[in-house]
Structure formats: structure tokens, C-alpha cells
Amino acid sequence: MAVGLCAGCNTEKKSTSAKPDQDSLEIALPDFSSIQTSDVFVYNCGDSLQFSAHVTPDSSWLFLPDTTVKVKSVRSGSGARYEGNAYLYWSKGNEAILQKPRGSFMTCQAVKKEKAKVAARIRGVGFLALGQEPGWRIEITNGEQIKYVGNYGQDTVYVPVPQPVVDKEKNRKTYTTQTEAHSLTIEITDKPCTDSMNGIEYPSTVQLTIDGKTHQGCGEAL
């Protein structure tokens, strides 16, 4: 892809193709609480850098280790190209090119298994839990709400975050809450867990009971 997107680019030479965009130098961050996982992309640029991008129809937000910057969509003969504030983000398929201010071009590879976790972190989620068969997800937003998505995305329940009960001997934290329509209990134990579907490892084992049905899964503080 590096050839297809950037024929003739020399990663040893600095390029000035991404000019500063004065319109994007000072801009407030929007509310990211409702972004979709499908619009978030995570990349590894060798061993030195990981970044993520939230793509919208006319722009993209880049979440880098030291900053968050908005870049605007520009015409491209191949792939999707965004520029602004001396940054360049150029993506096609599972690869992307990133250029930081006064930096050389970096070729980056998509990391699909990180999408759900990174998207949740951008939304402001403090703890994410996932389970399989049927697929379900729990998002605990710091001090605000618990979001349950179950039955492969067909069911969604929102409840306030209750005060957890902490069992130090068992290294377990339990959230129990009930509304007029639903009852929900989440047990989070500090015990390593491996996702049965994709083999991803998580630091916590999670047991979810919703409306009398119990599910097993894995989780991680974000």
C-alpha cells in the first residue's frame, strides 16, 4: 500500500506535503460519547507508535499519544486522504500512512482486534466487558451509567451506576442494580480471562446476570 498511496515517498526524507491548516489550529473537542466502533480505526506504525482515527464524512480525528488533532478530507486518487495542522493521514484497506509535523512518512498497519476497546475509551468508558454466544457487551462509564448490549446487538439497556460492593479477599467488585424493567448484576474478578471467540486476553473475569440469565465473559479497565 505504501507504493499505491505514496509512490516515490522516501521514509528517510522529510516531506512538506501536509501544510498547516490555520482553520484547525484552535478547535474544541466534540462530544465523542456516541461514536460507533465501525468508524474507529487503530493502527500500529512499526514498534514505535500506535494511534487511532475516528472518521466522519468530511474529516477525521487523530488520537495520538501526545495530542488529538482534526484533519480534513482532501481529494485523493486512491484511498481516503486527510490533512490539517501539518498532519497527514492517508488510509486504504488495512494500511495507512501517517505524517506528523516536520516528520517523515510512517507506514502503519490496522489492528482490528483493538477497535472495540479503543472506541469505548474514546466514548469515555471506564470499564469494558465482552462475552460470546450470544454476543454481549457491558460499558461502565465513570460515575454515570452502565450500558448493556446483548443478543448480538439487538437488545440495549441503560441503568445508573450503583455503588459497587468490594470483596478484597476474592479480589472482586460487584455492581447490582434494578429498574422497573430490568435487573442486572455484574461481578468483576481480578483473574485473567481469554475471550473464547478470538483468543484476546483480558485482566478480569466477568460474570453478568441480567433478568435472571447468567453469562460469562472477560473485561478490562480502560
Q: Are 96 and 46 in contact (CB under 8 A)?
A: no
Instruction: Give the separation between CA 161 and CA 174, rounded to whole angstroms.
Output: 11
Q: What is the pLDDT of residue 20?
A: 39
Backbone torsion region of residue 199, taken as left when φ is above 0, otherwise alpha when ψ lies between -120 and 50, otherwise beta: left
Place of cell 483473574: 191
Mean pLDDT by 10 residues, the chain (222 residues): 47 38 56 92 92 96 95 94 96 96 93 92 94 92 88 89 95 94 96 90 96 95 94
Q: What is the pLDDT of residue 19?
A: 40
Q: Whole-model pTM? A: 0.78
Which candidate, 187, 219, 222, 194, places its Cα nearest to that of 204? Answer: 219
Q: What is the pLDDT of residue 22?
A: 39
Q: What is the pLDDT of residue 167?
A: 97
Q: What is the pLDDT of residue 27?
A: 60
Q: What is the pLDDT of residue 4?
A: 52
Which grid cell is 13?
A: 526524507
Which grid cell is 98?
A: 501517517
Q: What is the pLDDT of residue 8?
A: 41
Instruction: Give the separation between CA 127 and CA 138, rounded to whole angstroms.
Output: 8
**The domain at 14-114 falls in which architecture?**
Beta Barrel (2.40)
Q: What is the pLDDT of residue 63?
A: 96
Angle 34-155-209 from CA coordinates, rounded to 5°: 110
